[in-house]
């Protein structure tokens, strides 16, 4: 396990949904479009 120090303005906890054969998907708020985000896997 690694420790990450992140600074941000908001946090969402989401469950990754199915996408296609090679990827999955997370839906984020429309207002986040064009913004930089970080995704951290919380469980293995």
Q: Which domain holds residue 40?
A: 1-44
The predicted pLDDT at position 36 comes to 94
The predicted pLDDT at position 1 comes to 81
The pTM assigned to this predicted structure is 0.68
pLDDT one-digit tens code per residue, 1-44: 889 998 999 999 999 999 999 999 999 999 999 999 999 999 87
Three-state SS across the chain? Answer: CCCCCCCCCCCCCCCCEEEECCEEECCCCHHHCCCCCCCCCCCC
What's the total number of domains in the chain? 1
The predicted pLDDT at position 23 comes to 95
The predicted pLDDT at position 14 comes to 94
């Amino acid at each position: 396990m690694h420790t990450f120090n992140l600074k941000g303005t908001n946090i969402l906890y989401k469950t990754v949904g199915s996408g296609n054969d090679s990827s999955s998907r997370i839906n984020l708020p429309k207002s986040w479009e064009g913004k930089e985000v970080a995704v951290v896997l919380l469980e293995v």
